[in-house]
Structure 1
């Protein structure tokens, strides 16, 4: 994608359902150009706008990060198998203390036990795992700003949103969803920019009712709008997952400082081996070095940092992009 394409994607990250005139104003281009480019971008597999239920706000479970260790020859097959689990929202091949990183949603303690201590070990190739239960979210991809638009343009786009993009952690449970709400959510999970008329038809209600119900779901925090794109598509190919041990008295202060950093996509307080975990994306390994030594090194309260490098994401926000590598040629084929 060229510079204008990237700015269009950045505008959709700031406001996933922004109208094309609104996007055109933000990126300083004509509406016709933006509409044409956006149609091409959204028809590709690189960018996807979707809406998902917030499991914390709806009381449907708790996110859990699982670091999986695998037999070397079976890591990719394990990762691809995990993408098919309905409870799994994120899968990435990684390098470091684990081979595969997974985010899953456990309904309750018994479900977590079944997923991590029964089903996961049954996968051929899994040799071990460790889990980190999310206690609090400080920032997520819903509120991420990759820094491709100026602050004024991002602020203007966000001001027009009707969802709680600015509230990573719900303050209270949202009201129970009705059957109509569930139908609307299912449709928006397929296409987060689906027109109100089509949404209404899918749910069997009037267009004005569909809009009112979706806006209400978003305002209560039950529904989260997001433009899903891999950081490398935006020129940020170096991703790393951070596992921090932080002085308990400094967790909120550390989180507040890190959440403001544009390199941080995700930041959570966790229960497990580490106090906090997060994901960062930068343009080069030298930038990651500066982040680790300068940014993290300059924050009081961080006692220890474990870094896991992202290699390839197979599932993000429940959008699956499986990877089946080509077979490595035999030695005589490589030298012939």
Structure 2
């Protein structure tokens, strides 16, 4: 008799969060970490160049990178700057929400093109958003036309980012 999948498995992942065939995080070693450090600085670095820098073969780099990608431990993407899309105003927005509608509001906001980050928070706000806008009028329209009438939204505080001092995807890999 075939085993039924639980609701937690319906997203393709078992209930314990382990991806079938994925490498456990502890499976990466110093060579994998060094490959990732090089790619964090410049994601376009060739396997041949990484191999030269690390003193390993190109095949080693290719296979290890393939395993990291297959194990869903890394993603290699080009991230266009918001400026390229004409989004020159960025804001951090704190949203207080009726708790019974928290997930509904979070789901609706993650669908908005302005929102690049939406996190459920413990603290002053229930949701923290990072959003990008074309101009100040766009911020006003988002606040009044999107957030204002949204069922469950109690309060909003918007902080405009005047100057970005650091924008990075680099962090230490354990």
Q: TM-score range by the shorter chain?
A: 0.7 to 0.9
Taking structure 1 as the reference length, the TM-score comes to: 0.41
TM-score by length of 2: 0.75
Matches within 5 A, 1:211-222: 211-222=62-73
How far the C-alpha of 1:292 sits from its partner, in A, is 1.0
In structure 2, the CA distance between the partners of 1:181 and 1:232, relative to structure 1 (3 Å rule), is same
Corresponding position: 1:175 with 2:25? yes
C-alpha distance in 2 between matches for 1:314 and 1:254: 30
- Find the residue that maps to 1:309 and give its secondary structure: strand
SS in 2 for 1:216: helix
Deviation at 1:229? 4.8
- In the TM superposition, what is the alpha-carbon distance from 1:201 to its structure 2 partner? 2.3
Choose the corresponding residue for 1:298, options 144, 149, 162. 149
CA deviation vs aligned residue, 1:230-259 (integer Å, no higher than 9, x gap) = 423431112111111122222222222111
Q: Distance in 2 between matches of 1:272 and 1:219?
A: 36
Aligned length: 149
Q: Aligned in 2, Cα 1:226/1:247: closer, same or farther, shift over 3 Å?
A: farther
Deviations 1:165-196 (A, max 9, x none): xxxxxx45942220110110111011101112
For the pair 1:186 / 2:37, whether they are aligned, the reply is yes
* Cα separation, partners in 2 of 1:218 and 1:269, compared to 1, 3 Å: farther
Residue in structure 2 matched with residue 250 of structure 1 by the alignment: 101
Q: What is the CA RMSD across the aligned residues, in angstroms?
A: 2.2
Q: 1:286 is matched with which residue?
A: 137
Q: Of 172, 178, 203, which residue of structure 1 is paired with 2:54?
A: 203
Contact 1:228–1:317 (8 Å) recurs in 2: no
* 1:219 CA displacement: 3.6
Alignment of 1:145-184 (within 5 A): 171-172=17-18, 174-176=24-26, 177-184=28-35
Relative contact order (alpha carbons < 8 A, sep ≥ 6): 1 or 2 greater?
1
Spell out the pairing of 1:1-336 with structure 2 (5 A cutoff). Answer: 171-172=17-18, 174-176=24-26, 177-318=28-169
CA distance in 2, matches of 1:217, 1:227: 18
Distance 1:219 1:298 in 2: 42
Cα distance change of structure 1 residues 225 and 298 upon mapping to structure 2, 3 Å threshold = farther
Query: Cα–Cα, structure 1 residues 267 and 215, in superposed 2: closer, same or farther, change >3 Å?
Result: farther
CA contact (8 A) 1:184 1:202 kept: no
Per-residue CA deviations over 1:21-67 (Å, capped at 9, x if unaligned) read xxxxxxxxxxxxxxxxxxxxxxxxxxxxxxxxxxxxxxxxxxxxxxx
C-alpha contact 1:183 1:202 (8 A) present in aligned 2 = no
Structure 1 residue 198, shift from structure 2 partner? 1.2
Flag the structure with higher strand content.
1
Q: CA deviation at 1:318?
A: 4.8
